[in-house]
Structure formats: structure tokens, C-alpha cells
Amino acid sequence: MGINADEPAPPEPESLPPLDFATMMDTARGVIASETRLSDGELETAARRLRGHLALLIPEAEARLGRLAEAGVEEARRRLTAGPGLLGPGRYVHCLAQSVLTLCDQLTPTGCGVVLRWSRDPRCVGLARLELRKALADWGLSVLEDSAVLILSELLSNAGLHARVTPEQVIETRYFRSSGGLRIEVHDGSPDRPRPRTADPEASDGRGLLLVEALANEWGVAERVGPGKVVWASLSVPLVRPVERDGS
């Protein structure tokens, strides 16, 4: 059965450093909302501002949260140093903004997640799904439940099959609420990185990561402090647009 992970308590609000998280998050949200309408010059300005935010957020997250923010920091650093590349300026700015939101969420009290540890017992997958449903209900994110539960099941089942688990190296799940949705992380002691593969049509397994890839907005694998890796996936709340009135 899951137990609370032995992680440092999240910082109290009054102990937060003088970083303007609200402004950073407003900038990131504004970029995401208007990215398709920005000119090349505006995209360049937005990218420069977001890179400046990440340059402040990455060391702050490492110092204050350590392993709790590890995957988000790794992804943010990769985006910060990679440049637009094949993504193009619009998609690159969107990715920078997502990293800003992820780190801001983790550094503020509302971004503290649910961290649980499990054995390789297959029954733990059902218990982990239950805890995820509870968290989603508490956060008002039940709209993501179907996809989130399927993603968690695949990642946790995969870790249970392949992870090198000892009493000192349990499997760990982490659920984080973000400004636009949810981030799921599964930590295990195996350095082997999972890769999607084409399943045998007659096989009963082998489709797990293809399902994760289809359901998640983003997913990936990152190193962690100590042995093993973290496999993560993020989901965004669907954008509901107001119905336009006839003749408006």
C-alpha cells in the first residue's frame, strides 16, 4: 500500500523568496493564449523574456525542492539551451511557457503534489489509481480522470515489470497540479529508458507507451538523483470556447 514519501515539507508561503511568480505565470499564460497571433519579432521578445524567467526558476527549484522538481528542472534546462531548432519559434515559445508554468506551480504552495511509494505488487496499480482520482477530485480536475488513470496504469505497470526494486528502491508516483492541468511522474530504480515500439498484433501487451503517447499532451524520460529514472506525462484541461451567437 502507498505511504507518504519521505520528502521535505513544502516551503511555507511566507518563506518564499522575492520572485514574482504571479507575473511569470501571467506572462506564460498570455504567450500560450496568443502564440498563433504573434509576429516573429513578438515571438523573439516572448522567448527572451521566458528564458529570463527560467534562468531564475531553475536554480530556485533545485535549491528549494531538490528531487521533487527534478523532472521539471531537467525539461526546462533542455528547452532553455536547445533553442527553437526544428520546433519553430511558435512551438518553442509555447514549450518555454509550459516550463515556466510547471516550475512556478511547483514553487508555490498550490503546486505541491501527492507523492506516494509502492512495491512491485500488481495490486498497487489499483491503489495508485484510487489516490490519483482523489487528487483530481480535490483539485477540480476530474475532467482529466479517464486519460490520467490510463496513463498512470501504463507507467506504473511498466515500472513494476522492469524496475529494479529493493526495500531501499521503491517505485514512487508523484501527481502535480499545474495551472493548465496535471503532471504524472513515476520514479523507479532501473536506468533502462522505455521506448514506444510497434506491438505484435497477436500480443497481449506492448502497446502501453503508444497509449501514453496518444493520450498525453507531452511525455518523456529524465534522469533522477541516485539510480534510476523518472517517466513523466502531462495533461491539459481541454479549452472550452464560448459558442458564438448567430449574426454576432
Buried b / exposed e over 61-71, threshold 16 CB at 10 Å, is: beebbebbbbb
Considering just the CA atoms, what is the radius of gyration of the chain in Å?
Answer: 19
Quickly state the pLDDT bin for 142 (edges 50, 70, 90). Answer: very high
Contact 125, 157 (CB under 8 A): yes
pLDDT value at residue 166: 54
Q: What whole-number distance in Å separates Cα of residue 152 and Cα of residue 148?
A: 6
Taking Cα atoms as reference points, which of 79, 104, 106 lies closest to residue 93?
79
Mean pLDDT value across residues 150-175: 78
pLDDT value at residue 146: 96
Contact 100, 19 (CB under 8 A): no
Mean pLDDT value across residues 12-31: 62
| Strand (E) or helix (H) holding 15 | none
Task: State the architecture of 113-236 in CATH terms.
Answer: 2-Layer Sandwich (3.30)
> Strand runs (DSSP E) across 189-226, as ranges?
218-223
Evaluate if pTM is beyond 0.75: no
Exposed/middle/buried for residue 96 (C-beta within 10 Å: 0-12, 13-18, 19+): buried
CA distances from 207 to 105, 123, 156, 170, 204 (A): 32, 20, 14, 24, 9
pLDDT value at residue 167: 52
Quickly state the pLDDT bin for 14 (edges 50, 70, 90). Answer: very low
| Set of cell numbers at residue 216 | 498525453
φ, ψ at 182 (rounded to 5°): -145, 145
User: Is residue 70's pLDDT more than 80?
Assistant: no
- CA of residue 224 relative to chain centroid, distance: 14
Q: What is the DSSP letter of 37?
A: G
pLDDT value at residue 232: 86
Edge-to-edge strands, sheet with 3-4: 3-4, 114-118, 171-178, 181-188, 229-236, 218-223
In 10 A of CB 130, how many CB atoms? 12
Helix crossing, 40-65 with 21-34: angle to 10°? Answer: 140
Q: What whole-number distance in Å separates Cα of residue 18 and Cα of residue 29?
A: 21
**Ramachandran class of 118: left when φ > 0, alpha when ψ lies in -120 to 50, beta otherwise:** beta
The domains of the chain are located at 18-109, 113-236
| Set of cell numbers at residue 203 | 500480443
Q: Which segment of 10-24, 91-105, 113-127, 185-199 scores lowest on mean pLDDT?
A: 10-24
Q: What whole-number distance in Å separates Cα of residue 59 and Cα of residue 75?
A: 13
Mean pLDDT value across residues 219-246: 71
